[in-house]
Amino acid sequence: MFEGVSIKSKREIEIMRESGKILRDVHLLVGEKIRDGISTLEVDKIAFNYITSHKAKPSFLGYNGFKGTACVSINEELLHGIPKADKIIKNGDIVKIDLGVYLNGFHTDAARTYAVGECSEENFKLIECAKESFFEGIKLADTEHRLGDVCHRIGEYIEANGYGVVRSYIGHGVGAHLHESPDIPNFGSAGRGIRLKAGMTLAIEPMITKGSYEVKVLNDGWTVVTTDGSLCAHYENTVLITDNGAEILTL
């Protein structure tokens, strides 16, 4: 442990690399299958079948009572959308898919935002900004920097592009538990927070909105939406801190 954060051994890192490969590939498969007319439950089944066929388990299934393998969230929905047979993805939607893989005692966690069919330039820019902010942040994810440097860079990039930075939901450590220390907000002060150390594994996940950054949970107790109904995007990878910078385990 380092300042309350789990440091993974070489063996544990190798397991997480294998888990990360499965997660990378299931996202690639889901990205190919998403289309106009598919239900979110069908998407969920595709992910479940792929993960379990590789002798792994879906991290989210049953977690705190969640009923799916994938969180499938459409348009103004940001997180934790419950897969349903009657929830149909349509042309023009932007769909957030969040997935976790549990393999031999360790989790990895990653999310993507997919454009379905025709995507306006405006919506494409939103999706790309979430992704690009992640890569901006991990430029500082090394043993020369503190966690606050990463968080600050992500938030600074998002706001410079005119989008809102969600405050209520944040990234986290990941490993033997799906959610571990430290908390990783997508905003903060440079030079603050714990110093990053080789062997830390972090789920870094920018979440951005076109309008207000305020969000709320629907009556189903899970689905998180923007309070103003604006579109939003989510991009996440599990990252290993090494002596040579960040290694992305889920790409």
For 148-184, what is each residue's pLDDT tens digit? 999 999 999 999 999 999 999 999 999 999 999 999 9
**What is d(CA 207, CA 158) in angstroms, rounded to the nearest whole number?**
9
* Residue 4: per-residue pLDDT: 83
Kindly report whether the peptide bond that precedes residue 206 is cis, defined as omega within 30 degrees of 0. Answer: no
5 within a domain of the structure (yes/no): no
3 within a domain of the structure (yes/no): no
Q: What CATH number is attached to the domain comprising 195?
A: 3.90.230.10
For range 30-38, the mean pLDDT: 96
Q: Is the pLDDT of residue 119 over 90?
A: no
169 within a domain of the structure (yes/no): yes
117 within a domain of the structure (yes/no): yes
**What is d(CA 87, CA 198) in angstroms, rounded to the nearest whole number?**
42
- DSSP category for residue 197: -
Contact 223, 84 (CB under 8 A): no
* Residue 3: per-residue pLDDT: 72
Helices (H), 139-244: 147-160
Token output for 158: 């998002």
- Model confidence over 191-208: pLDDT tens digits? 999 999 999 999 999 999
Instruction: For residue 115, give the 3-state DSSP assignment.
Output: strand
Q: Domain residues for 117?
A: 10-248
**What is d(CA 29, CA 227) in angstroms, rounded to the nearest whole number?**
31
118 within a domain of the structure (yes/no): yes
Token output for 145: 């920097």
69 within a domain of the structure (yes/no): yes
Q: How many domains does the chain have?
A: 1
171 within a domain of the structure (yes/no): yes
pTM of the model: 0.95
Question: Would the CA dihedral through 131, 177, 82, 210 be positive or negative?
Answer: negative
* Residue 204: per-residue pLDDT: 98
**What is d(CA 199, CA 244) in angstroms, rounded to the nearest whole number?**
11
**What is d(CA 246, CA 181) in angstroms, rounded to the nearest whole number?**
18
Q: Is the pLDDT of residue 1 over 90?
A: no
1 within a domain of the structure (yes/no): no
